[in-house]
Amino acid sequence: MDEKDVTYMQAALEEANKALAKDEVPIGAVLVDRSSGEIVARAHNLTRHLCDPTAHAEIALIRSRAKEVGAQRIPDHDLYVTLEPCPMCASAISYARINRVIYGAVDPKSGGLSLESGPNLYSKAALHHKPETCSGILADECGEILSNFFKNKRHSKKLAEK
Amino acid sequence: MDEKDVTYMQAALEEANKALAKDEVPIGAVLVDRSSGEIVARAHNLTRHLCDPTAHAEIALIRSRAKEVGAQRIPDHDLYVTLEPCPMCASAISYARINRVIYGAVDPKSGGLSLESGPNLYSKAALHHKPETCSGILADECGEILSNFFKNKRHSKKLAEK
């Protein structure tokens, strides 16, 4: 694990906390320009606020950066995200030609990449460009913010049912 | 094959032709409200024009309709698209809770649904909601507009290289 990877993932976690403050599923992401090492875009999940099931953090990053550089492909970028990308985001990351995807917590239930029995998308011919992947950076922190969020939701639901 | 399915797919083909006129990969789609039977959204592929690798016809439909109804889930809708959805769109369609996906041409290379050896997404636990699927409506017309587009692209490339 590189020290820089931790710094970038901390920035992604800050984004996840912004989602949490808005009562959105707390997932955050940042996009890093590989040549400068700078974070060029930051985003968090906003599906509820935007009434948009595609408004995941990764999709927001890709759309904003691609528009900024004026091309539908943005190679030479690395994407840091607190949770393993879902199949939708894993595909979009491939179409955007992003180099590396670094994620914190693994998502064995709904992830698009890690599970052999799952979509396991970067092992499939359907996606031409297969980004490098790396997992486990700040995995505990990235996972805890999510599990606490869902635990609180279940608790509130139980209270409301009483 | 229902007569109405053909009418809706013809509307999706009209959208594909709009993409063609803009030199975009010619794929079109429409969204149908199941209770009224009305087409409530129309879209075509615009990835190049918008500099957005996620600007597939299906994503555009989902985003616009979800915003219109003010919810991130739009059940009670059917989606007609000229080509088998890619893994990104197949996932977004599931997240939006769309009832049925009806597609024209099968995409054995990059499709997200039909190929056993491919992502075959609606057979995977990663996607909770699994829309019904139906393929083959106007498959020849939907496939031809695409194969002609790519044939012309290859021909233009060869001429440019001479």
Average model confidence (pLDDT) across chain A: 96
Any A CB within 8 A of B98 CB:
no
Indicate yes or no: CB of B67 within 8 angstroms of CB of A50.
Answer: yes
| B7/chain A closest Cα distance in angstroms | 28
Token pair for B148: 């002609």
Examine the residue annotation and report whether A58 is marked as an active-site residue of this protein: yes
**Which residues numbered 29-88 in A keep a CB inside 8 Å of some CB on B?**
47-48, 50-55, 59, 62-63, 66-67, 69-73, 86-88
Distances (CA, A) of B67 to A5, A50, A123, A161, B73: 36, 7, 34, 30, 10
| Alpha-carbon span B140 to A7, nearest angstrom | 52
Task: Give A115 or B134, the one with higher predicted confidence.
Answer: B134
Nearest to A54 among B50, B62, B69 (CB): B62
What is the interface size between A and B, counted as CB pairs within 8 Å? 121
Using the predicted structure, report yes or no on whether residue A58 has a pLDDT greater than 90.
yes
What is the biggest distance separating any 2 CA atoms in chain B, rounded to whole angstroms? 56
Choose, from A14, A58, A116, A141, the residue flagged as catalytic: A58
Choose, from B15, B24, B58, B84, the residue flagged as catalytic: B58
Using the predicted structure, report yes or no on whether residue A127 has a pLDDT greater than 80.
yes
Residue B1 confidence (pLDDT): 66
b (16+ CB within 10 A) / e for A41-66: bbbbbbbbebbbbbbbbbbbbbbebb
Q: Which residue of A has its CA nearest to B63?
A: A52
Q: Hey, what's the torsion of the CAs at B79, B73, B110, A25, to 10 degrees?
A: 170
B contacts of A60 (beta carbons < 8 Å)? none
Tell me the pLDDT of chain B (162 aa) as tens digits.
689 999 999 999 999 999 999 999 999 999 999 999 999 999 999 999 999 999 999 999 999 999 999 999 999 999 999 999 999 999 999 999 999 999 999 999 999 999 888 899 999 999 999 999 999 999 999 999 999 999 999 999 889 988
Any A CB within 8 A of B116 CB:
no
3-state secondary structure of B70: coil
Indicate yes or no: CB of B62 within 8 angstroms of CB of A53.
Answer: yes
Any B CB within 8 A of A130 CB:
no
